[in-house]
Chains A and B, each alone.
Chain A
Amino acid sequence: MPNTFAVPDYFVSPTLLTRARTIAQEHASLAKRLATDYDVSAARRLGELQSTSTAVREYDEAHSALEELQSLLTSTDQELRELAEEDIQPTRDRIEQASAALKSSLVPVHPFAHLPCLVEIRPGAGGDEAAIFAGDLVRMYKGYCARVGLRSTQLKYDTADEPTHVQEAVLEVDSPGSYGMLRCEAGVHRVQRVPATESKGRTHTSAASVLVLPSIPTEGGGDMGEASFDDPKSDYYVDPKEVKLEVMRAGGAGGQHVNKTESAVRLTHLPTNIVVAMQDSRSQLANREKAWQLLRSRIAQLRREEREEEIAKLRRGAGAGKVGRENKVRTYNWGQQRVSDHRSGLDVRNLDNVMEGGEALERIMQSVRTWMAEQEVLSLVAEEENSQAQKK
């Protein structure tokens, strides 16, 4: 395509474009077939392909409009040239929009994006300071949820010697779609500051890890789609036989001799050795249910990571790092009052507003969501290229 104005924003890689055109072709032939012979599954497929097909058409139309304008630019007619020059910019904008629509129509919606989620925060390297920072992150996400209107409850808040030293905290964000909003927060968050515990005024670097897990409704639910936890094929399926339930009882004589309240529950998933302990409620039943919910989410996350590992090579080839627990994703620098995200590369100066879960945090999160969408497209392209290579 003779396009001398190609800038990165306009650019849709040839592979992606080929994929889009293949989809558009399938759409056209399906539409033809459906005109004579109605078929439910074909109709559904047509619906899925619709947005890509429309986006390709718009993309092509915008491009041919630009080509036409370019040929007019070489025209000898002065008036015609001026008219063309006026139209060039809007047409470029149109191409840009069409490219974005094309990309987003090809980006698969995350299968768990519609679910509520659990946010687990644990201190990493850095001792007490890391534990304090973990507490700061808990407050940040609580503030964020309150501000954007997501319902959040503190499922677990374990502290060490001091009340501010968080060992493990779990927030349950039970608004639908919160997984899609918050999954960009998963990863290692690094803090650089002079800790409250530091007497000599030295700056320390510590870290806390944030895990974002899609949360399953407690009842085997219809809106889970394919991820029902009674289905052995689902990521959420956990065989009860593989889980050891321990109830912690008061030691000593027991029975009528003591009246201690012991409602703590510990679940161990034997194949993976994942342990979940829950003791916050007086009701053992409630603790059991919460523990199961957490266990299912952790196992599902593990399984997803295992599966992602298989296609990770492709993604790395496309420059997409894995958004797992081992990668440092963001740095909070107190000295410079600055927060920088290492994925999207966005720098924000308003540290206090970020730590309150304010609008500045939303800006960072939005930049990461955009970045993640781009990475998805890139990995899609890599997969496409790979399957093309295998065909040859």
Chain B
Amino acid sequence: MPRLAPSLLRQARAIDVLLPPLLPACRDLRSAENELRWLKDHAIKTGRQCGLAHSDASLKRLVARRARGEPIQYILGTEYFGDLELKCQPGVLIPRQETAASVTHLAQQLSKKRKGRPSDLHILDLCSGSGCIPLLFHHEFYAQPGNEHCKLHMVGADISVQALELARRNQKSQIAAQSKRVTAQTTSLAAMRFLHADVLLSEAANAIHAPIGVVEALQQLTNTRPTPAYEVLISNPPYISSQAFRTTTARSVRNFEPKLALVPDNPSSAPSALDGDVFYPRLLALADQLRTEIILFEVADIDQAQRVATLLARQSTWRTVEIWRDEPGATSDEADHVLLDGGESVPVRGAGNGRSVFAYRGAAAAWLQ
């Protein structure tokens, strides 16, 4: 990390003595000032709740935590994800803005044409973490006009019990923020479920304590033997390779966020630059078992996006495969397609880094195209 200019530190000290310690974590004065203000507000708010008149000492403690690199979202306990304010806690990955942009774009794509679209949509989110994806998808989907009678059946799954608890808490506070009227929107939110399951587990587990596989968990939920169908499969799985984790991942992420949610824990023989890919083949196998027609998988960058797109192309069941950038809806002068190893051309939408892979097949092609 480049050293901070002494003039910047001097400037910061002139504004507030608490700013210089924040600079190494924030990097620029602007964000340091913003973060200090948010920390102040938080100190005052929590101080008031405890009946304390002075919040100076607690503010200093918060600043010290942030100065050590702790993510501000863990300190404040929340993060804004799209239009939603979600709870955050150490041990569970903080929702990322880019994920929100992809999910919002997906909700818009699924709302473009309603003719031919089933009146009930089954949506599964694997590696759900804080539950941010199903909660935001729900919010954005019903924000689109014409969707008020469509029912969403949403399930999130995660291997972490801590994440599941947080996801359920987030679901509760979203329910509390909704109107009390019974609509497709409110019943869909109340019916959302978060399951304990291990995505990488392909066969029914014989261990009693370990989490069971995804298909098994879904069968238990619906209490049916034939595997239920999920038209839409979304996932933001751990995708960082062990090499990139050492070189690219920010220190604050490495030191404070759960590695379980970032780097696939798999003793595979893949080289350390590619061992971030292990979830994707497994996700595609699940998509086949669950008769999925639409997928949206988050990826680390354009290279990983191309590798995932190549997997999809090899399956040859997918009618359309697209790569979405950070802001899929924006226009940019970056390349609008990439060529895969097999020679197929895949469109790349939006602006920013390659962020996710989107594909559809079967009946969904009729109403998505």
> Are B352 and A256 in contact, CB atoms less than 8 angstroms apart?
no
Identify which of residues 95-125 in chain A touch chain B, using a CB-to-CB cut-off of 8 Å.
Answer: none
Contact status of A256 and B240, CB under 8 A, knowing A261-B31, A261-B35, A285-B80: yes
Of B83, B236, B353, the contact of A253 (CB 8 Å cutoff): B353
Contact status of A253 and B300, CB under 8 A, knowing A163-B14, A258-B250, A262-B97: yes
> Which A residues touch B82, using CB under 8 A?
284-285
> Are B261 and A256 in contact, CB atoms less than 8 angstroms apart?
yes
**Known pairs A253-B248, A253-B353, A256-B300. 15 more at Cβ < 8 A?**
A161-B14, A247-B97, A249-B98, A253-B249, A254-B96, A255-B299, A256-B239, A257-B240, A257-B244, A257-B300, A258-B250, A259-B71, A259-B96, A261-B79, A285-B83
Interface residues of A toward B: which range?
20 to 34
For B236, B238, B248, which residue has the most chain A Cβ atoms within 10 angstroms? B248
> Which A residues touch B301, using CB under 8 A?
253, 255
Q: Taking the complex as formed, is B147 at the interface, i.e. its CB lies under 8 A from any CB of chain A?
A: no
> Which A residues touch B353, using CB under 8 A?
253-255
Q: Which of A142-150, A188-196, A275-283, A381-389 contacts B (4 or more CB under 8 A)?
A: A275-283
Q: Taking the complex as formed, is B326 at the interface, i.e. its CB lies under 8 A from any CB of chain A?
A: yes
Q: Taking the complex as formed, is B202 at the interface, i.e. its CB lies under 8 A from any CB of chain A?
A: no
Instruction: Tell me, rounded to whole Å, the shortest Cβ–Cβ distance linking B69 to chain A.
Output: 10
> Are A283 and B34 in contact, CB atoms less than 8 angstroms apart?
no
Complex Cα gap A332–B93 (Å): 55
> Are B80 and A283 in contact, CB atoms less than 8 angstroms apart?
yes
Complex Cα gap A155–B76 (Å): 22
Of A255, A282, A285, the contact of B38 (CB 8 Å cutoff): A282
Listed A/B pairs (25) with beta-carbon separation below 8 Å: A159-B15, A161-B14, A163-B14, A163-B16, A249-B97, A249-B327, A255-B98, A255-B299, A256-B93, A256-B96, A256-B262, A257-B244, A257-B248, A257-B250, A257-B253, A258-B249, A259-B73, A259-B94, A259-B253, A259-B257, A260-B31, A261-B35, A261-B79, A282-B76, A283-B80
Of B15, B73, B355, the contact of A254 (CB 8 Å cutoff): B355
Complex Cα gap A223–B297 (Å): 47
Q: Taking the complex as formed, is A263 at the interface, i.e. its CB lies under 8 A from any CB of chain B?
A: yes
Task: For B244, give the chain A residue with the smallest CB separation.
Answer: A257
> Which A residues touch B352, using CB under 8 A?
249, 254
Interface residues of B toward A: which range?
35 or more
> Which A residues touch B250, using CB under 8 A?
257-260
Complex Cα gap A77–B258 (Å): 108
Instruction: Tell me, rounded to whole Å, the shortest Cβ–Cβ distance linking B294 to chain A.
Output: 21
Encode A71-103 as 1/0 by CB contact (under 8 A) with B.
Answer: 000000000000000000000000000000000
For B83, B96, B240, B262, which residue has the most chain A Cβ atoms within 10 angstroms? B96
Of B11, B76, B249, the contact of A257 (CB 8 Å cutoff): B249
Task: For B299, give the chain A residue with the smallest CB separation.
Answer: A255
A-B contact count (CB 8 A): 93
Instruction: Tell me, rounded to whole Å, the shortest Cβ–Cβ distance linking B89 to chain A.
Output: 13
Q: Taking the complex as formed, is B72 at the interface, i.e. its CB lies under 8 A from any CB of chain A?
A: yes
Complex Cα gap A162–B33 (Å): 13
Contact status of A255 and B34, CB under 8 A, knowing A262-B97, A283-B80, A283-B85: no
> Are B298 and A255 in contact, CB atoms less than 8 angstroms apart?
yes
Complex Cα gap A254–B300 (Å): 8
* Secondary structure call for the B interface: mixed
Q: Taking the complex as formed, is B272 at the interface, i.e. its CB lies under 8 A from any CB of chain A?
A: no
Encode A279-304 as 1/0 by CB contact (under 8 A) with B.
Answer: 11011110000000000000000000
> Are B326 and A249 in contact, CB atoms less than 8 angstroms apart?
yes
Task: For A284, give the chain B residue with the smallest CB separation.
Answer: B80
> Which A residues touch B72, using CB under 8 A?
261
Contact status of A162 and B14, CB under 8 A, knowing A256-B300, A283-B85: yes
Complex Cα gap A162–B14 (Å): 7
> Which B residues touch A259, using CB under 8 A?
71, 73, 94, 96, 250, 252-253, 257
Q: Taking the complex as formed, is B30 at the interface, i.e. its CB lies under 8 A from any CB of chain A?
A: yes
Task: For A160, give the chain B residue with the smallest CB separation.
Answer: B11
Complex Cα gap A279–B28 (Å): 14
Identify which of residues 26-58 in chain B touch chain A, using a CB-to-CB cut-off of 8 Å.
Answer: 30-31, 34-35, 37-38
> Are B98 and A254 in contact, CB atoms less than 8 angstroms apart?
yes
> Which A residues touch B239, using CB under 8 A?
255-256
> Which A residues touch B355, using CB under 8 A?
254-255
Task: For A288, give the chain B residue with the smallest CB separation.
Answer: B83
> Which A residues touch B30, using CB under 8 A?
279
> Which B residues touch A254, using CB under 8 A?
96, 98, 326, 352-353, 355
Complex Cα gap A278–B73 (Å): 20
> Are B327 and A247 in contact, CB atoms less than 8 angstroms apart?
yes
Complex Cα gap A320–B34 (Å): 44
For A159, A161, A259, A260, which residue has the most chain B Cβ atoms within 10 angstroms? A259
Identify which of residues 242-276 in chain A touch chain B, using a CB-to-CB cut-off of 8 Å.
Answer: 247, 249, 253-263
Complex Cα gap A261–B70 (Å): 13
Complex Cα gap A285–B79 (Å): 12
Instruction: Tell me, rounded to whole Å, the shortest Cβ–Cβ distance linking B77 to chain A.
Output: 12
Task: For B325, give the chain A residue with the smallest CB separation.
Answer: A254
Complex Cα gap A262–B355 (Å): 17
Complex Cα gap A253–B252 (Å): 14
> Which B residues touch A257, using CB under 8 A?
240, 244, 248-250, 253, 300
Identify which of residues 202-235 in chain A touch chain B, using a CB-to-CB cut-off of 8 Å.
Answer: none
For A247, A249, A261, which residue has the most chain B Cβ atoms within 10 angstroms? A261
> Which A residues touch B257, using CB under 8 A?
259
Contact status of A163 and B97, CB under 8 A, knowing A253-B248, A257-B248: no
